[in-house]
Chain A
Amino acid sequence: MENTRKWRYGFNRWLVLLFIVLGAVAASFFPPLRPHIQVAPEVISGPLFSLPVIGNFYLTNTLVASFVVYLLLILMAFFVRRAVNSGELVPKGLAGAMEALLELLYNLTESTAGKWAKIIFPWFTTIVLVVLLSNWLELIPFVDSVGWLEPVQQGGHAAQQLLPGVFAVTAGEAASQGGFNVVPWLRVPSTDLNFTVALAIISVTMTQVIGLRTQGPRYLSKFINTTTMFKKPLFGAIDFAVGLLETISELAKLLSFSFRLFGNIFAGSVLLFLVGSLIPIFAQSAILLFEFFIGLIQALVFGMLTMVFMAQATQGHGGEHD
C-alpha cells in the first residue's frame, strides 16, 4: 500500500480521443478510397535521359523515397561524425543512440563471426540501417497518399478541387468517362522489387567475395567439388552434385532475400490501404503499430541472415541454406 497516488484521468487519453473524433469527421468528408495497387513502382516523371542498354530513365516514386532514405542516413552519419570527433567519450543524443545500436550489432557480429567481425560488420549494419529506415518510411503520414493526379481510362475516382491546383480524390460516379488515380510522390522503397533485389544481390555477392577473401580459392571447392571424385567415385559424384546444389542455393538466396522483404512490406502497405478503406476510423493505428514491429524484424532478419551467411562463408563448409 505504498505510494497511493490518486488515480487521475491522464492527458494522453484525451489526445487519442480527440484524434479519433477528428479522424471520424475527416472520414465523413473525404472517405478513404482503395487506391490502385500495383507491384511495379509508379513513374512520376517524364523520361529524364536515355542510356544505350537500359533505355529511357524515369524517376519513380520508390527511387525518390530511397533518395530520401539515403540522404537521411548520410545526414545522420554527418552528425554522428561531428559528435564523435568532438572528442567526448560518451556522446549524447543521436550519436549516443547510434553508438548504442552499433555496439549491440557489433557484439552480435563478433559472437557469430569471431575474428572476421571487422569485415562483415559494415555490410551487416548498413543493410540493417537502410532496410530499417526504408521500412519505417511507411509510418510517416502523406507517404503513399500524396502525389500527382493521373487520369485513367478505366476505374479511377472522381477528383474534387480544393484549391487551385490541389485536388482530392473522392468516391464519385466518375467511372463512366474515366476517373483519376493518385500517383504518390513517395512510396516505401521496400515495396519496390528493384530495391530488394539490389540488396539481395549485394548481400549474396559480398558473401562470395568475403568467402574468397578469407578462404582463398579453396572457397570455390564448395561449388565445384572435385576433391573426392577420383578417390571414391560414388561419394565423389554425390559430393559434386551437392556442390551444384550449393550453387543453386546461392541463387535461391537471391530470390528468398528479395521476396521476403518485398512480400512483407508490400503486404503490410496493402493491408494498410485495405483496412483504411474498409474501416476509416482508428483501425489503421493498430496496423501501423504492427507494421512498425514488422519493419524492425524484417530489417534485423535481412541483416542477420546476411551476417550469418557471411560468417559461414568464412568458416568453410557451411550447413544452413534457405
Chain B
Amino acid sequence: MEGNIIQAAKFVGAGLSMIGALGGGIGIGLSVQGALEGMARNPDAYSNLLTNMILGIAFSEAIAIYCLVIAFLMLFVL
C-alpha cells in the first residue's frame, strides 16, 4: 500500500515537473519567431541568424531538458 502511494507520487511528480517544459517551448517559439522575421527582412543574414538561432534554441531547450531529466529521475531512479 505504501509502495503504491510512493509509486503514484512519483508519477504525479514526474508529470508536474514537465510543466516546466512550457517555458522552454515559449522561449524556443519566441527565438524562432525573431530569427525568422530577421531572415525574412534580411535574407543575406540567413546563415548568421541560423547559427545564432540554433544556439538560442539550445539554451532555451536546456530548461525543458532539465525538467525532462527530473521527470526521468523520478520515474526511473528514485
Residues in A lying within 8 Å of B, measured CB to CB:
37-40, 108, 256, 259-260, 262-264, 266-267, 270, 297, 300-301, 304-305, 308, 322
Contacts of A38 in B (CB 8 A): 76-77
Q: When chains A and B are docked, how far (Å) is the Cα of A117 from the Cα of B69?
A: 34
Known A37-B76, A39-B73, A39-B76; judge A301-B54 contact (CB<8 A): yes
Contact residues, B3-53 vs A (CB, 8 A): 51
* CB nearest to B58 among chain A residues: A301
A/B interface sample: 26 pairs, CB < 8 A: A37-B76, A38-B76, A38-B77, A40-B77, A108-B51, A256-B62, A259-B62, A259-B65, A259-B69, A260-B58, A260-B62, A260-B65, A263-B65, A263-B66, A263-B69, A263-B72, A264-B65, A267-B65, A267-B72, A301-B54, A301-B55, A304-B54, A305-B55, A305-B58, A308-B55, A322-B62
Contacts of B75 in A (CB 8 A): 37
The smallest C-beta distance from B31 to any residue of chain A, in angstroms, reads 13
Q: When chains A and B are docked, how far (Å) is the Cα of A296 from the Cα of B55?
A: 14
- Interface residues of A, dominant DSSP: helix
Q: When chains A and B are docked, how far (Å) is the Cα of A38 from the Cα of B61?
A: 23
Q: How many A-B residue contacts, CB cutoff 8 Å?
A: 46
12 further A-B pairs in the complex, CB-CB below 8 A; given A37-B75, A301-B58: A38-B76, A256-B62, A260-B58, A264-B61, A266-B69, A267-B65, A267-B68, A300-B54, A301-B54, A301-B55, A308-B55, A322-B59
* CB nearest to A259 among chain B residues: B69
Residues in B lying within 8 Å of A, measured CB to CB:
51, 54-55, 58-59, 61-62, 65-66, 68-69, 72-73, 75-77
Q: When chains A and B are docked, how far (Å) is the Cα of A267 from the Cα of B71?
A: 10
Contacts of B66 in A (CB 8 A): 259, 263
Contacts of B54 in A (CB 8 A): 297, 300-301, 304
Contacts of A304 in B (CB 8 A): 51, 54-55
Contacts of B77 in A (CB 8 A): 38-40
Q: When chains A and B are docked, how far (Å) is the Cα of A75 from the Cα of B51?
A: 30
The smallest C-beta distance from A264 to any residue of chain B, in angstroms, reads 6
Contacts of A260 in B (CB 8 A): 58, 61-62, 65
Indicate if the CB atoms of A39 and B72 lie closer than 8 Å.
yes
Contacts of B51 in A (CB 8 A): 108, 304
Contacts of A322 in B (CB 8 A): 59, 62
The smallest C-beta distance from A139 to any residue of chain B, in angstroms, reads 21
Q: When chains A and B are docked, how far (Å) is the Cα of A39 from the Cα of B69?
A: 10
* CB nearest to A267 among chain B residues: B68
The smallest C-beta distance from A56 to any residue of chain B, in angstroms, reads 21
Q: When chains A and B are docked, how far (Å) is the Cα of A300 from the Cα of B57?
A: 12
The smallest C-beta distance from B30 to any residue of chain A, in angstroms, reads 17
